[in-house]
Amino acid sequence: MRFSIKISVWALLFIFLGACSTTQVRTKDGQSLAEVHTQLGLEYMREGMYEASLENFKKALQADQKLPAAHTSIALLYERIGELSLADTHYAKAYKLKPDDASLLNNYGQFLCRVGRLDEADAIFARAMRDPLYRYPEMVLTNAGICKEKRPDMEAAEAFYRQALDKNPRYEPALRQMARISFSQGHYLAARAYLQRLQELAQLPAEFLWIAVRAEHELGDHDTASSYALLLKNRFPESKQAQALQEWERQRRER
């Protein structure tokens, strides 16, 4: 099977996590056998072909047990298929091999947060943030904020999201989180501002159109609220948000 040479952003973060021993045989492109199998495994995983993905990750580790990218990649696959103990084992091995790699730390921190090990996740994210050369600090900061929300510590979460947006004002995950928080706290002008910034980047999905309807209603701009409502009905007629909108409109008519 031939694969596209395009690799998703999260995959790229893994591929270059570590270098292999210079004594290993390399391809004409300079990749080791372990790196080639890791990249193939990531491509298979992106296509949802988990058996082929796992086979390639295992071959990568057979070729080089000290390649952090292979351990991180197979950990991601194990997590995806529900093998959390194996995922933890390989995340920990990658961390031991390269404890100061911000990309690796970011992925390990996300895993720890997802399984509820929040204190450990906080420590890993804090370590990742100490890397001044990491290209995607907004990603680490946003993930740290999401983990704070799980406690819940909304003040700390919001502080991380603001820092993320200081690093990259167009970072969608942080904008989405701030839109949610602002609306939930009744800060409708702030919610409007974050939604407008999101809308400059892409069409709003159903969740945020529904937030926009209610935020504009609270701000007294009923024409804009109606425009958002129409977009929600037309673009996502089967969504749970569209159903909630219909019920909301029915209740308003009956008042």
Name which of 4-13, 107-116, 225-234 the model is least confident about.
Answer: 4-13
In a domain, 25, yes or no: yes
Residue 88 belongs to a domain: yes
pLDDT, position 254: 80
Over residues 13-71, the pLDDT tens digits come to 343 444 333 345 555 455 789 999 999 999 999 999 999 999 999 999 999 999 999 99
pLDDT of residue 27: 53
d(CA 75, CA 17): 14
DSSP H helical ranges for the chain = 9-15, 33-46, 50-63, 68-80, 84-97, 102-114, 118-129, 137-149, 154-167, 172-184, 188-201, 206-219, 222-235, 240-254
Burial class of residue 123 (count of CB atoms within 10 Å of its CB; 0-12, 13-18, 19+): middle
Instruction: Output the average pLDDT for the chain.
Output: 89
92 pLDDT band (50/70/90 cuts)? Answer: very high
| Structural domain contains residue 159 | no
With respect to residue 93, please indicate whether it lies within any of the assigned structural domains: yes
pLDDT at 32: 86
> Does the pLDDT at position 12 exceed 50?
no
Whether residue 66 is contained in a domain is answered as yes
Kindly state whether residue 85 falls inside one of the protein's structural domains: yes
- In tens, the pLDDT along 122-161 reads 999 999 999 988 999 999 999 999 999 999 999 999 999 9
For residue range 221-243, list pLDDT tens digits in order. Answer: 999 999 999 999 999 999 999 99
Terminus-to-terminus CA distance in the chain, angstroms?
A: 61
Of the candidates 204, 156, 147, the one whose C-alpha atom is nearest the C-alpha of residue 179 is 204
Q: What is the DSSP letter of 3?
A: -
Per DSSP, the three-state class of 32 is: strand
Q: What local confidence, expressed as pLDDT, does residue 31 receive?
A: 73
pTM attached to this predicted model: 0.81
Q: How many domains does the chain have?
A: 1
The residue with tokens 């390990």 is 108
What SS3 state is found at 18?
coil
Domain membership flag for residue 169: no
- Structural domain of residue 61, as residue ranges? 1-98
> What CATH number does residue 37 fall under?
1.25.40.10
Tokens 């007294």: give the residue.
Answer: 220
**Which residue pairs from 31-37 have beta carbons closer than 8 angstroms and sit at least 24 positions apart in sequence?**
32/63, 32/64, 32/67, 33/59, 33/60, 33/63, 33/64, 34/60, 34/61, 34/63, 34/64, 34/67, 34/70, 35/60, 35/67, 35/69, 36/60, 37/63, 37/70
Is 248 inside any structural domain? no
pLDDT attached to residue 26: 54
Burial class (CB in 10 A: 0-12, 13-18, 19+), 14: buried
- Asked whether residue 179 carries a pLDDT value surpassing 50, the answer given is yes
pLDDT value of residue 119: 96
Would you say residue 77 has pLDDT above 80? yes
> What token pair was written down for 145?
């904020």
Average pLDDT over residues 191-220: 97
Whether 10 has a pLDDT exceeding 90, the answer reads no
